[in-house]
Amino acid sequence: MKIGIPDMRAVTMEQAGLPTLVPAATTLLKTLDTVLEGWATAAGAASMIMPPLLPVAALARLDFFDNFPHQALLVSPLDMTKQLTSEALAYASETLEPASLALPSAACFAVYLYHRERSLPDKTTVTVLGRCFRREERYEDLRRLLGFHMREIVALGTPEFVQDHLRRFGDRILAFAAALDLPIRKEAATDPFYDRGGPRALLQKLAPVKHELLVEDLAVASLNTHRNFFGQRCAITLAGTGRPLFTGCVAFGLERWLAVLLARFGSWEAAVEAVRSASAQVGAAPP
């Protein structure tokens, strides 16, 4: 076995980055997600359920395998023409069929793929909750997982709308964290999509495309602008212009929120109460 996919005989599911959430933690995750989805729908977002797997061909079109090959997790059926054994602890590569599907590493990819070749009005907003997957070199309680929940609020339209979306939701997150008395800070970050040298990397130095919201050293949310990257690659145009639209997303790593809320409030139950109270304080009106 290689780094990142541990020998499942020797490690627990927690050590493999695949924890189970006990009932009180489940309640907290659902309570928090309902708050975040409420912010999105109050701002006019369409709440949708996206496919849990995406085609390799579609992700390749988004440069996913160029940028994140080490994180990728591919999905294959068993090759039924091969001799298989029920004693298997892992299936060898040669017993697998080719992988034409992959697990998503972010929830918003499916949104751009869904809108492929469509023309959309400015101020289109979509919110999705996805189970996302990233192979990491090591996993850490709820802070760094192989499989985790990501709530995203995605903006599609003019550059101005996207910037406004990120500013408004960034402010909302800061206000929510303040109501939780959770020390949070916003920092410019490096988006791996643009971190490959050349003109894009230069452009990023001039105007950051990613900000992270951090509690201590843990990014619990991020604000991302993609310029017209997904608009171009997915041929999504801004209605009336025929041109690729701009996109941006606000992303929340829900298990990371659970980790910082548990540390802050000492119990899942106290954290649930705190989230409810902070949500009422911040309000659900469009930010």
> Which H or E run contains 254?
helix 254-265
> Which H or E run contains 156?
strand 147-157
- If binding is defined by CB under 8 A, does position 72 make contact with its own copies? yes
Least distance in angstroms from the C-beta of 195 to its own copies: 16
- If binding is defined by CB under 8 A, does position 47 make contact with its own copies? yes
> Which H or E run contains 223?
strand 218-225
Map the footprint of its own copies across residues 195-254, applying CB under 8 A: none
**Binding string, 2-21, against its own copies, x = CB under 8 A?**
x-xxxxxx---x--x-xxxx
User: Whose CA is closest to 147, among 222, 48, 254?
Assistant: 254
Q: How many CA atoms lie within 13 A of 20 on its CB side?
A: 4
From candidates 15, 31, 91, 184, binder to its own copies by CB under 8 A: 91
Least distance in angstroms from the C-beta of 183 to its own copies: 27
Burial (CB < 10 A; 0-12, 13-18, 19+), residue 222, is buried
Residue 287 near residue 153, CB atoms below 8 Å: no
Taking CB under 8 A as the binding criterion, the range among 71-79, 196-204, 244-252, 262-270 that sits at the site for its own copies is 71-79
Cβ proximity to its own copies, 101 vs 178, nearer residue: 101
Least distance in angstroms from the C-beta of 141 to its own copies: 14
Cβ proximity to its own copies, 86 vs 285, nearer residue: 86
Least distance in angstroms from the C-beta of 219 to its own copies: 21
Q: What does DSSP say about strands 147-157 and 246-253: parallel, antiparallel, or unpaired?
A: antiparallel
- If binding is defined by CB under 8 A, does position 284 make contact with its own copies? no
Cα(3)–Cα(137) distance, integer angstroms: 6
The token pair at 188 is 């410019």
- If binding is defined by CB under 8 A, does position 29 make contact with its own copies? yes
- If binding is defined by CB under 8 A, does position 146 make contact with its own copies? yes
Residue 215 near residue 72, CB atoms below 8 Å: no
Cα(126)–Cα(165) distance, integer angstroms: 12
- If binding is defined by CB under 8 A, does position 58 make contact with its own copies? yes
- If binding is defined by CB under 8 A, does position 52 make contact with its own copies? yes
The CA-based angle 234-253-44, given to 5 degrees, is: 60
Kindly state the DSSP code that residue 19 receives in the 8-state scheme: P
Q: What does DSSP say about strands 124-133 and 54-55: parallel, antiparallel, or unpaired?
A: unpaired
- If binding is defined by CB under 8 A, does position 48 make contact with its own copies? yes
Taking CB under 8 A as the binding criterion, the range among 83-91, 187-195, 204-212, 268-276 that sits at the site for its own copies is 83-91
Least distance in angstroms from the C-beta of 133 to its own copies: 8
- If binding is defined by CB under 8 A, does position 83 make contact with its own copies? no
Q: What does DSSP say about strands 237-238 and 119-120: parallel, antiparallel, or unpaired?
A: parallel
- If binding is defined by CB under 8 A, does position 93 make contact with its own copies? yes
**Binding string, 98-137, against its own copies, x = CB under 8 A?**
xxxx-x------x--xx----------------x-x-x--
